[in-house]
Structure 1
């Protein structure tokens, strides 16, 4: 069990690298149009400063800085006159960045945005949706993967699927380094996320201490985020970041060969001899030498008879909607899972809109996940799942809403509110994962969550219409979810359900 838990903890930390690495590898650096006066060394006037040349070449943008997508057709020398008026500026003809872009490489030496993209496009207005589109394609892979790999793991076992998924993620992640264009890059990321869904499905640990185990996994998701922020601060090249992520999954792939196959799956599939060998091997590792003598097929079958009988019963997703009680419970949990993941991924995948120092913000976010995981272990002893989840969701929504209402100049306050919102999100993540396992069909609800995560970056594309609209939507969904939670049943202290009948008996 220790080996399983340690592998799951390493996987949780590595998954945070994989999912959130595009906060840095696909960061949009500061940029402006290429202009002859500034960027053609032979034509730079010696008697003018770079600031003056920039003022006559690039119009100011919405934030009063040089516009990122436009330039003047001709140098506006009259703007150097101290008496120049706004009329002079409004009458000046502008054009898009037809000669390309100049990037600020003080923060990132290279990113996907500056290199792996359709050659006719730069990071301007025309393709502001490329980054969220790529993220949506990546997260859509988890939806496809959960369907395909769910069936494959039932047929071929958990262990081979786990090993294959880790190898697939490692290979496809390192392959993005040589992706010739944005389309190929998105295809590779899609295949990576298909493997990610397999890791989520096959690496689940069920113990009698499920609350403690889940909070440990959440905490290590936070540890991975802190490590990602530190590594990204040290390594400013996106290719090196992708290589590091790939190495992590190669390590898990090697470890997976020492993990035992699920004895429960082997018994259900009728492979009793292999199940007995796996259990004896685990017993030997745990120091239970007497198990070699006392553990027999007869003992195994007598202890697993109920699970074998329940596994042979045929149920489908439709059974969750036949009984009124299960139908309403499932619909409410679907709504909560969908709304939460849609908002959660919209926030954690767009750090550049929450604060200027995304490295520090990523470390803070990870620290909040870690601390929330530790704190919730104690909260579960005194409060029910509904109370904690509803409170965390409404606080997350209010914190994110306040972050958008605070002026850009008050960066410290904005970061503080973003970190508070992330801490509440971390608490909600643990509650929802645990709630799903305790209340209804976890796999079905996981698919709904993954669908919400895939749609999340698409909501962010509305930023081009109204900059604050995506975060207003995210905050509203958090608050709406908190209003649904009180109508869910409390599951604290109940046994984990294995069948539809168990759900009806709750």
Structure 2
């Protein structure tokens, strides 16, 4: 071995140097949570109906309510149809009022939304009716970006270093995050979101690697989990930002632009000394280790530094090695299953807050708030019970809670909320723009 582990113990496992390094990870973690969930607030449920302004040429003096009654069919509950209209005819107004219209078609001239509604992805790109699935598709494309980012930036950080990958990922996130606010088409929006997703993977994976390679083994759970608390804080900040900024383009700028402030830390952000040693860059590693020791008010014996040698070149492994060895195969399958279940449940709930029947801003705030004590509590649970028992118990507990949720009668609400009411009920309450 190179002796880097012994030197890092001399430098200090979690001194001021490592604490500053953890602090540097906070701003990127805040931005990551914004991009994970911001689309929930950009596609609100807003009232809409087909644009039937064609009848205005026949009856320019019709009121809004009269126009809707003549041109929009109603469903079985008496609410206006949102995705169909009566086919335009060349009759006069008296004939239309006397005989009515009975041939329907899909909306052919777009949709009408409340004039007071702030711009949203739904209203700008008409993500309704036949195009409503584009909202879910764009979330899937963002997740695909996370996958591609992990495949690209993980190996890249091993090849060129942690620091350049972190800075490049942050630059990508800021550039394409702000760029989303100026996209002219929803397909461009989805492409930009994919790039942002890739940058999010680059940031989270590489920052985690950089921090753990500088921090001692005993302090890693505490440092990583405290850093992850910023993800939860970011969720809470997102709730406040989206409540105060209803214009989706301005919200995207407000959530993306602050990441550029991280570039003021370029001179402070260190490379991983452990990675430098593995690449044979011993002198650079020594300088960083001396700097870290100086900040931690420690002294590294010169003889110990002189023992620092490049690691002996060994045969590089591949992903297939995880499946060739019996023990590695077992661990790989267990971890893959645990990650799959965790991601499915976590994102299944987090990305479904609009359907909880409660105020979306308070729900998002609550989701972020409960994560803070949960993450902090993991520090003590891991130290007291270890990884294996803690993981097993929490997986069983979360599964039981999900089963209990299934047993709750549908439609039960603790608070009355218009957002959570059925569409037909909201149509009855507001005749002109039922929502």
- Report the TM-score range of the alignment, normalised by the length of the smaller protein: 0.7 to 0.9
Distance in 2 of aligned mates of 1:216 and 1:188? 30
Partner of residue 393 from structure 1, selected from 376, 383, 398: 398
1:290-343 per-residue CA deviation (whole Å, 9 max, x = no partner) reads 34x647532444xxx8xx35x835322222222333323322321221233134
Map of 2:160 onto structure 1: 156
Residues in 1 aligned to 2:77 and 2:404: alpha-carbon distance in whole angstroms: 24
Distance 1:321 1:7 in 2: 36
Candidates 334, 337, 360, aligned match of 1:335: 337
Which among 303, 306, 309 is matched to residue 298 of structure 1? Answer: 306
Q: Does 1:239 align with 2:256?
A: no
Report if the CA contact (8 A) 1:72-1:94 is conserved.
yes
Displacement of 1:53 in angstroms is: 5.3
CA contact (8 A) 2:33 2:235 kept: yes
Hey, what's the Cα distance between the residues in 1 that align with 2:352 and 2:38? 11
Pick closer, same or farther for the CA change 1:198–1:125 going to 2, 3 Å.
Answer: same
Pair 1:379–1:402, CA change in 2 (3 A): farther
Matched, 1:71 2:73: no
* Most deviating of 133-142 and 270-279: 133-142
Q: CA deviation at 1:62?
A: 7.9
Q: Quick check: 1:3–1:259 contact (8 Å CA) kept in 2?
A: no
What's the offset of the Cα at 1:38?
A: 9.6
Distance 1:327 1:344 in 2: 25
Unaligned runs of 5+ in 1: 81-87, 415-506
Between the aligned partners of 1:323 and 1:159, the Cα distance in structure 2 is 33
TM-score (norm 2): 0.78
Distance in 1 separating the partners of 2:322 and 2:34: 35
Cα drift, residue 43 of structure 1: 2.7
**In 1, distance between residues paired with 2:303 and 2:30?**
36
- Summarize the Cα distance change of 1:373–1:38 in structure 2 as closer, same or farther, 3 Å threshold: farther
Q: Measure how far apart 1:134 and its partner are.
A: 1.3
Higher relative contact order (CA 8 A, sep 6+): 2
- Tell me how far apart the structure 2 counterparts of residues 398 and 60 of structure 1 sit (CA, whole Å): 38
- Residues 110-259 of structure 1 mapped to structure 2, 5 A cutoff: 110-115=119-124, 117=125, 122-204=126-208, 205-206=211-212, 207=215, 208-259=218-269
- Which structure would you say has the larger Rg? 2
Cα distance in 2 for partners of 1:4, 1:61 equals 60
Shift of 1:28: 4.5
Distance, in Å, in 2 between the alignment partners of 1:64 and 1:212 is 58
Computed over aligned residues only, the root mean square deviation of the Cα atoms, in angstroms, reads 3.4
* 1:284-363 to 2 correspondences below 5 Å: 284-288=294-298, 290-291=299-300, 294=302, 297-301=305-309, 308=311, 312-363=314-365
For 2:230 and 2:58, how far apart are their aligned partners in 1?
A: 50
The offset of 1:96, in angstroms, is 1.6
State the 1:213 CA deviation: 2.6
Match for residue 37 of structure 2?
20
2:280 to 270, 281, 285: 270
| TM-score for the superposition, normalised by structure 1 | 0.68
1:51 Cα offset (Å): 5.4
Structure 2 gaps of 5+ residues are: 1-17, 418-435
Aligned length: 388
Write out the 4+ residue segments of structure 1 that deviate beyond 6 Å after TM superposition.
37-42, 74-77
CA contact (8 A) 2:27 2:259 kept: no
Name the structure 1 match of 2:431: none
- The SS at the match of 1:203 is helix
CA–CA separation in structure 2 for the residues paired with 1:189 and 1:277: 39
Contact 1:15 1:221 in 2 (8 A): yes
Q: Secondary structure at the match of 2:268?
A: coil
Moved more, 269-278 or 256-265: 256-265
Provide the secondary structure at the position in 2 that maps to 1:43.
coil
